[in-house]
Amino acid sequence: MGTSLKIITAKRAGFCFGVKRAVDMAFDAAHKNGKKCCDVYTLGPIIHNPQVIEKLKSEGVQPTDDIDNPKIKTIIIRTHGVQQEVSYKLSQKGYKVVDATCPFVKKAQQYAKLLKEDGYQVIIIGDKDHPEVKGLMSYAGEDVVVVNKDDGLPHLKSRVGFVVQTTQPLSVLKKFISEAVEHVKELKVFNTICNSTALRLKETKEMAGKVDVMVVVGGKNSANTTQLAQLCNSMSIPAYHIETALEIKDEWFSNADKVGITAGASTPDWIIKGVEKRIRDIGGEGS
């Protein structure tokens, strides 16, 4: 380590298109009419990043799980989207609804609905406990099947249609359509995977091959940040998953010439910048 420590930040570190849009919409809702509101809620935490949630709270935007909360005037739907019946209930309540569902997730919901209406048995690839998948399921009809990467397919009807949780890897989609085509006569696939996750992983992998230490920035509760950290840990260099610059220790860089920084889709730019500054202070240069 020394003043020669070189810092490289991934181009794709941080907010993806859908998250940036949702966070902007939340801050906009907070500052409506030039003054802070105090009756604006997000249905669940808007993204998996505690620091952003705290910042929004300080602006008057609270997360809530209770849609009957009498204080609500404006409710923000997060990027993952919600179940069809929740969406209906919110509008019945007379709230102002700010729909920050990621447009790619919205499309997947519409495809699930379309498949159901065309008489297909809908198969959703993803984590059945994830809010995005719960939302998709509500559009997919009663005979919907949800499968995650290590599952096998159950007995299927003769016409099946696939939609995919937007953050799934392509390999899992390939596995399931290969398996399904053995058993069905007709198969329709909407490839609803958003390539933002895949591209971020690819860039991180390439970067980890060129540096001495990797720093992965993002919520410990963020699935996609954790995936980045796991990828780095599987490589032959030290890698650290942190939420903010405060967790950084000087000795991590004592044998390093080059350090790489990457961040999940829910990590805001100001936290990434803070991490860069902290490492630069330790002895790094530029990026």
Bridge partners, residue 217, by sequence: 242, 263
Q: Which of 137, 173, 211, 242 binds its own copies (CB under 8 A)?
A: 173
Type and span of the H or E element at 121: strand 121-125
State in angstroms the smallest separation of the CB of 123 from its own copies.
13
Nearer to its own copies, 174 or 249 (CB): 174
Residue 200 contacts by C-beta under 8 Å, 6 or more apart in sequence? 10, 12, 13, 16, 224, 228, 262, 264, 265
In terms of residues, how long is the chain? 287
- Locate the DSSP E strands across 34-105: 40-43, 61-64, 74-77, 96-99
Instruction: Please choose, out of 20-28, 177-185, 202-210, 212-220, the segment that lies near its own copies by the rule CB under 8 A.
Output: 177-185
Q: Which C-beta is closer to its own copies: that of 38 or that of 181?
A: 181
Beta carbons of 251 and 196 less than 8 angstroms apart = no
Looking at 54, 132, 142, 186, which residue is catalytic?
Answer: 132
182 binds its own copies (CB under 8 A): yes
Could you tell me which residues come within 8 angstroms of residue 145 by beta carbon, excluding any fewer than 6 positions away?
121, 122, 123, 124, 153, 154, 156
Q: Does 108 bind its own copies (CB under 8 A)?
A: no
Using the rule CB under 8 A, is 199 a contact of its own copies?
no
Distance of CA 277 to the CA centre of its chain: 25
- Does position 119 interact with its own copies (CB under 8 A)? The reply is no
Can you tell me which of 4, 58, 191, 234 binds its own copies, judged by CB under 8 A? 191
Active site residue 132: yes
Q: Name residue 98's amino acid.
A: V
Asked if 186 interacts with its own copies (CB under 8 A), we say yes
| Residue closer to its own copies, measured from CB, 100 or 108 | 108
- State which residue, 98 or 156, has the beta carbon closest to its own copies: 156
CB of 156 to its own copies, least distance (A): 12
- Residue span binding its own copies (CB under 8 A) among the ranges 37-45, 80-88, 182-190, 229-237: 182-190
Which of residues 69, 103, 143, 181 is near its own copies by CB under 8 A? 181
Q: In the complex, what is the shortest distance from the CB of residue 169 to its own copies, in angstroms, rounded to a whole number? A: 12
How many Å apart are CA 116 and CA 216, to the nearest integer?
40
In the sheet that holds 145-147, the strands lie side by side as 145-147, 121-125, 159-164
Q: How far is the CB of 184 from its own copies (least distance, A)?
A: 7
Give 239's contacts (C-beta < 8 A, 6+ positions apart).
208, 213, 214, 215, 216, 229, 232, 233
184 is a site residue for its own copies (CB under 8 A): yes
Question: At its nearest, how many Å lie between its own copies and the CB of residue 191?
Answer: 6
* Residues 6+ positions from 208 with CB-CB distance below 8 Å: 214, 231, 232, 235, 237, 239, 260
Footprint of its own copies on 142-171 (CB under 8 A): 170
CA-based nearest residue to 131, from 111, 108, 153, 97: 108
* Catalytic residue ranges: 132
**Residues at the contact surface with its own copies, assessed by CB under 8 A:** 170, 173-174, 177-178, 181-182, 184-191
